């Protein structure tokens, strides 16, 4: 399953942006070949839509089920999962086709729970909810609740876990817990481990940095990107966990400077990050990360307001929210960072996922 990406609307809290059925874009560059479908959520904070990018064609797939203050997208087994964070409703569509004939299910995941991500493993669908101390488990076919996994043993000093992401690796679920406090400052963050059939999490790894945003697995390591607090860069960066020992191995301390990692993806053996060049992300670039030192390489050229990254297993996909009507979804070579295609979207793109 491709990880969801979330478009932030509020500081310190990962909330997703959402998209409406605005007019379709007309400008695009690059190849016209087909391939993976990229589903992207975007907004100018007045209009909202979910659109599909296929080659250089952009189509509006509708927004009947996606209107709200935030939306997260995920894909598994040719099903598009749309998490409406405002209404806490999860909707699943076969092939990403948003109509009644392709509707798999539509279910509430708990009013006010602020859901962040879904992850399908076997016949189970796991739902991360930022406002709860447990992860919901659904039947992936019907959307019916079949249980939950208790994460409360790894809560912060206020008794809150604040989970924001989940992945599956090595036979275990790995849940990224921000530990955010009620005043939106940061407490100890953790990566929590749980079995897919468990009712409680089994262990956790305390992180050395604050406010984690994303994680990616590569070459037997788990990389965690933490943004840190908004007044300093010293408590942000990228941490490395050895998956063989489940031990925090090191904190990458390359040329981070005042830069803050916001998103992370592993693509074709390369690690890429979205880097905020200032505290508020007014300048944000897609950069490769040196796996030994953590130093950032040369950013993808021509992009100034990158929000999210995704991969189809071969290519790197980038959502750039550039101003002055230059926003686009970009396909790049993960080995070199070379732009392979650029497709203009109707609205500024944020959350993104890829359907092979």
Residue 323 lies in a domain: yes
Who wins on pLDDT, 255 or 205?
Answer: 205
Q: What is the pLDDT of residue 23?
A: 28
Largest CA distance in the chain: 53
pLDDT per position as a tens digit, 64-119: 655 556 889 999 999 999 998 889 999 999 999 888 899 999 999 999 999 999 99
Q: Determine the average pLDDT of the residues in 206-224.
A: 95
On whether the CB atoms of residues 3 and 74 are closer than 8 A, the answer is yes
pLDDT interval class at 42 (50, 70, 90): confident
Give the pLDDT of residue 281: 57
Q: What is the pLDDT of residue 59?
A: 84
Between 237 and 195, residue with greater pLDDT? 195
Is 2 part of any domain? no
* Neighbour count for residue 2 (Cβ, 10 Å): 22
**8 inside domain:** no
Q: What angle do CA 43, 344, 96 make, to 5 degrees?
A: 65
As a whole number of angstroms, the distance between CA 285 and CA 228 comes to 17
Q: Is pLDDT above 90 for 190?
A: yes
In the chain, the number of structural domains is 1
Residue 10 lies in a domain: no
Q: How far apart are CA 67 and CA 10, in angstroms?
A: 17
Show the tokens assigned to 307: 């929000």
**Domain CATH code at residue 348:** 2.130.10.10
- Asked whether residue 7 is domain-assigned, the answer is no
**Burial annotation 320-342 (CB, 10 A radius, 16+ → b, else e):** bbbeeebbbbbbbbbeebebebb
Quick check: 141 and 147 in contact, CB under 8 A? no
**Structural domain harbouring 221:** 28-355
Model-level pTM? 0.88
Is position 332 within any domain? yes
Q: Residue 5 falls within a domain, yes or no?
A: no
Q: What is residue 325's predicted lDDT score, i.e. its pLDDT?
A: 81
pLDDT of residue 229: 81
Question: Is there a domain that residue 346 lies in?
Answer: yes
Per-residue pLDDT, 254 = 52
Which pLDDT score is estimated for 22?
Answer: 27
């Amino acid at each position: 399953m491709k990880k969801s990406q979330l478009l932030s609307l509020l500081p310190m809290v990962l909330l997703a942006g959402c998209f409406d059925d605005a007019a379709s874009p007309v400008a695009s560059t690059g190849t016209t070949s087909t391939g993976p479908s990229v589903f992207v959520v975007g907004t100018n904070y007045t209009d909202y839509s979910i659109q599909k990018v296929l080659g250089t064609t952009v189509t509006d797939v509708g927004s009947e089920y996606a209107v709200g203050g935030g939306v997260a997208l995920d894909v598994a087994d040719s099903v598009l999962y749309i998490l409406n964070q405002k209404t806490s409703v999860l909707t699943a569509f076969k092939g990403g086709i948003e109509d009644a004939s392709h509707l798999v299910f539509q279910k509430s995941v708990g009013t006010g729970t602020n859901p962040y991500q879904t992850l399908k493993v076997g016949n189970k669908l796991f739902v991360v909810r930022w406002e709860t101390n447990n992860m919901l488990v659904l039947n992936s076919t019907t959307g019916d609740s079949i249980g939950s996994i208790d994460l409360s043993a790894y809560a912060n000093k206020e008794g809150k876990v604040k989970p924001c992401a989940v992945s599956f690796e090595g036979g275990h679920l790995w849940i990224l817990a921000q530990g955010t406090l009620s005043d939106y400052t940061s407490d100890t963050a953790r990566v929590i481990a749980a079995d897919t059939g468990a009712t409680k999490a089994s262990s956790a790894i305390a992180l050395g940095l604050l406010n984690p945003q994303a994680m990616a697995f590569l070459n037997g390591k788990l990389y965690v990107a933490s943004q840190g607090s908004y007044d300093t860069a010293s408590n942000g960066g990228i941490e490395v966990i050895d998956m063989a020992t489940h031990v925090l191995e090191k904190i990458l301390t390359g040329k981070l400077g005042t830069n803050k990692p916001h998103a992370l993806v592993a693509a074709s053996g390369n690690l890429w990050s979205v880097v905020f060049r200032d505290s508020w992300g007014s300048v944000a670039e897609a950069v490769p990360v040196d796996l030994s030192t953590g130093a950032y390489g040369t950013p993808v050229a021509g992009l100034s307001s990158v929000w999210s990254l995704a991969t189809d297993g071969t290519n790197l996909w980038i959502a750039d929210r550039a101003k002055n009507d230059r926003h686009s979804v970009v396909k790049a070579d993960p080995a070199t960072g070379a732009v392979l295609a650029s497709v203009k979207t109707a609205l500024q793109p944020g959350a993104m996922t890829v359907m092979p």
